[in-house]
Amino acid sequence: MSRKEYFAYGSNLNFEQMAYRCPEATAVGIAKLDGYELAFRRGYLTILPKEGASVEGLIWSVTDHDESQLDCYEGYPTFYDKETMTVTDADGAPHEIMVYTMNAPYRDQLLPVSSRYNAVVLQGCLDAGISPQQFYDADEKYRKAYKARAAPVPKKHAPER
């Protein structure tokens, strides 16, 4: 049975969720993806290029069956696509690894994030031993952008005569 490594940065950090969806997956360890930041788009997390930033996540070893389950969950190839990127593990070793990235036009859309999704991701941070700070930063950035987008535009009144 062939296996490959997959880098999780969102809800798939959650051990219970992964055990249900991908029962043959095993956690390998924490890793870092340089040159990207977490971002909420269309109600879910994705990664976007950003110089000087990094995303901490978890390497999973998955089977072909696990990968097909993940593809279904991630809406591959329509909602998310798969890319091969290099992450660095805790020992500094590089891993060429599969990463899901949100496709356009979805990654350009700000939609509300469910409290359930947030809870799953936060539990995943605890499960994986990852600081939730990058999640909080992404959430704050999303909320500011969403609020600014949704703010009413003041109406201009014609002068009275």
Where does the pLDDT of residue 160 fall: very low under 50, low under 70, confident under 90, or very high at 90 and above?
Answer: low
Q: Which two tokens stand for residue 81?
A: 């696509």
pLDDT digits (tens, 9 = 90+) for 115-151: 999 999 999 999 999 999 999 999 999 999 988 886 6
Within a 10 A sphere around the Cβ of 11, how many other Cβ atoms? Answer: 22
Residues β-bridged to residue 4: 62
User: Residue 65 is inside which H or E element, if any?
Assistant: helix 64-74
Question: How far is the C-alpha of 35 from the C-alpha of 114, rounded, in Å?
Answer: 27
Within a 10 A sphere around the Cβ of 14, how many other Cβ atoms? Answer: 23
Q: Per CATH, which fold does 3-132 belong to?
A: Hypothetical upf0131 protein ytfp (3.10.490)
Three-state secondary-structure class, residue 147: helix
CA 35 to chain centre: 14
**Which residue shows structure tokens 């660095």?**
88
Binding site per annotation, positions for substrate: 6-11, 117
The residues that are catalytic are 74
Domain ranges of the chain: 3-132
pLDDT digits (tens, 9 = 90+) for 74-117: 999 999 999 999 999 999 999 999 999 999 999 999 999 999 99
